Amino acid sequence: MNVSAQVTVKCPRCDACAQFHEPFAFLRAAPAGQTAIAWGGWFVVERYPDVLPWQAPKGRSGQYLVYGGDDGRGYAVLHRGVVDCRACMARFVHELAWPDDLWWQWSIRGHLLWACDRAQALQILDYVRATDRPARSVHGPIGSLPSVFLSAKMRGAVVKAMEKTLAAG
């Protein structure tokens, strides 16, 4: 599965910084020494079998991985998962509200900029700050960065807002 398996979020219970985990790994081959459930051409491994066991989406046509929200036609990745919070010592099932739940987010002149984790935020900051920017690749956080944040007018505000938060946490 070529997607990050976790996202840094604001804990829905205590507002501290916590991790939201995709509860399943989708593998193309049966893993050795691990229990996996065959589904839609994948081998599904449960990462939190005690908290959130695998349940195949209903319907015969629903054997797909869906990205970017639950459209009822497959399994939505990074949608319903497990929050692991060290502040309130809780591990519980949560439906990710995207992008509201994200820990790394900035509202800059009416536009919302977000990152899945600190590493991604630093990557974005580096790119925005650079005066001589390399071409954007389609994939990854830079590729999906709305171009409004790359305009010369926005650059200073973006860098200032991101530097402030990243320095604090």
User: What is the C-alpha separation between 81 and 34, in angstroms, rounded?
Assistant: 20
Q: At 80, list the tokens.
A: 């319903």
Phi-psi region of 41 (alpha: psi -120 to 50; beta: other; left: phi over 0): left
User: Is residue 38 within the footprint of Zn ion (CB under 5 A)?
Assistant: no
Nearest distance in Å: CB 52, Zn ion: 17
The phi, psi pair for 155, rounded to 5°, reads: -50, -50
Task: Assess 80 for contact with Zn ion (CB under 5 A).
Answer: no
Minimum CB distance to Zn ion, residue 12 (Å):
8
Interface with Zn ion (CB under 5 A), residue total: 7
85 binds Zn ion (CB under 5 A): yes
DSSP 135: P
User: Closest distance between Zn ion and the C-beta of residue 161, in Å?
Assistant: 25
Residue 14 binds Zn ion (CB under 5 A): yes
Query: How many Å apart are CA 137 and CA 146, to the nearest integer?
Result: 13
Which of 30, 56, 87, 159 binds Zn ion (CB under 5 A)? It is: 87
Task: Point out which residues bind Zn ion (CB under 5 A).
Answer: 11, 13-14, 16, 85, 87-88
